[in-house]
């Protein structure tokens, strides 16, 4: 599992011109990619790491300040462009495998106490955000 975590002042994700998820204030945007062998251990680790990651202002975590989190699925995080000009997506898990894992990460964040907004899995989404800092961290299980 791979995640790009960004500290933001605001963010929203839209599908077909309609906002489907947004942050009511400063928080985190998480772009989440799932690979073939991700399961419960990776879900638990990733959710705990995101919730406790001290990248908000004054070295605080989302758990310390109850910051909201917007999670957007992004299989392209597993794109491999080392050869040629066209990336391959072989390392990205297919939708039937990755969608439940994505949902499990969101549910685990909520179980930990987070307010979670979501994109729409598999949809063509438009993500708008105001990166704060900018601060961006890549996590990988």
Q: Which of 6, 35, 42, 75 is catalytic?
A: 75
From first CA to last CA, the distance across the chain in angstroms is 5
Which of 2, 17, 32, 1 shows the shortest CA–CA distance to 117?
A: 32
Of residues 74, 88, 130, 136, which has the active-site annotation? 74
Q: Active-site residue 74, yes or no?
A: yes
Query: How many whole angstroms separate alpha carbon 22 and alpha carbon 15?
Result: 12
Instruction: Please say if 76 is a catalytic residue.
Output: yes
What is the DSSP secondary-structure string of 27-74? EEEEEEE-BTT--HHHHHHHHHHHHH---BGGGB-HHHHT--EEEEE-
DSSP structure class, residue 123:
S
The residues facing 118 across adjacent strands are 71
Q: Which of 35, 42, 76, 88 is catalytic?
A: 76
Is there a catalytic annotation at residue 75?
A: yes
Active site residues: 74-76
């Amino acid at each position: 599992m791979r995640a790009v975590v960004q500290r933001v002042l605001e963010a929203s994700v839209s599908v077909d011109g309609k906002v489907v998820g947004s942050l009511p204030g400063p928080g985190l945007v998480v772009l989440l990619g799932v690979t073939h062998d991700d399961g419960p251990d990776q879900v638990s680790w990733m959710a705990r790491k995101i919730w406790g990651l001290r990248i908000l202002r004054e070295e605080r975590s989302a758990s310390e300040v109850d910051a909201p989190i917007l999670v957007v699925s992004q299989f392209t995080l597993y794109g491999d462009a080392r050869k040629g000009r066209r990336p391959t997506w072989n390392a990205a898990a297919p939708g039937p495998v990755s969608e439940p894992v994505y949902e499990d990460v969101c549910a685990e964040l909520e179980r930990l106490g987070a307010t979670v907004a979501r994109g729409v899995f598999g949809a063509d989404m438009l993500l708008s955000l105001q990166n704060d800092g900018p601060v961006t961290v890549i996590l990988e299980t």
